[in-house]
Amino acid sequence: MMTREADRTAGMSAPQLYQEARDNVRSNDYKTARTYLEAVESRYPYSSFAQQSLIDQAYVNWKDNEPEKAVAAIDRFLRLYPSHPGTDYMLYLKGLVTFTPPSSYLRSLTGQDPSERDPKGLRQSYDAFNELVERFPDSRYSRDARQRITWLVSTIADNEVNVARYYYTRHAYVAAINRSQAVLRDFSGVAAAEPALYIMMQSYQQLGMQDQASDAKRVLDQNYPNSKYYELGVDGQKGGWLSWLSPARVFN
């Protein structure tokens, strides 16, 4: 049985369908717009309107809080039209779909730091923006993408430290070391390197690996003289329950 929306599109040409979609986008009726855009793609798959409809489907799904559908449309477009002039925009939009910028308002409501979220979306966003700036360095979207990459790198590194800290507090010291090493290996010049080195140092100490602990301490002291984490401890809070693990107690 045909839906009401499908009946509405019956017999319409590609330009007519696309114009109806655009009109609904302007009025923020994204669900109706999606119906017309999908009809363009399915009925006129070899037309230029089909290509543009995929671009607009990605945008409409993003605005309609359907990120998975948006990414699916983008990936389909990139697969079907890899040399399309709109490729840079689609990579930029893919980055935006999963990008979560820091918001003091959002954090005041949720109490959650962006680095404490599931990093999967952040990494997807980073990959899309990074591909954009590498393939299209002069694109109109690349400057903003570079700025977002800077924030993403810092936030993803902070997430790795949060995970390392989680493992440490549960006495999973090898896992804590692995996460800390990932920060130092994969990210350059990030603030998260300081707590990562401290967590690594303490984890090696807990495992009785004195040489490795001393090496981590040496690197920490070289790069962060008088590191605040000697006072704050692994949990990063002054007076926190892990702050007793100071160098004076560990290295004596």
> pLDDT (tens digit, 9 = 90+) per residue, 199-244?
999 999 999 999 999 999 999 999 999 899 998 888 766 544 343 3
What pTM was computed for the model? Answer: 0.76
Indicate if the pLDDT at residue 98 is higher than 90: no
**What percentage of the chain exceeds 70 in pLDDT?**
83
CA distances for 137 relative to 133, 141, 143, 145, 217, angstroms: 5, 9, 8, 10, 40
Q: What's the whole-number average pLDDT of the chain?
A: 85
CA separation for the pair 69, 9 (Å, rounded): 21
Count Cα neighbours of 12 within 13 Å in the Cβ-side half-sphere: 22
Inter-residue contact 88 to 107 (CB < 8 Å): no
What pLDDT score was predicted for residue 7?
62
First to last CA, the chain: 80
Largest Cα separation within the chain, whole Å, is 84
Task: Tell me the mean pLDDT in the region 23-47.
Answer: 94
Confidence of residue 76 (pLDDT cuts 50, 70, 90): very high
Count Cα neighbours of 211 within 13 Å in the Cβ-side half-sphere: 0
What pLDDT score was predicted for residue 243?
38
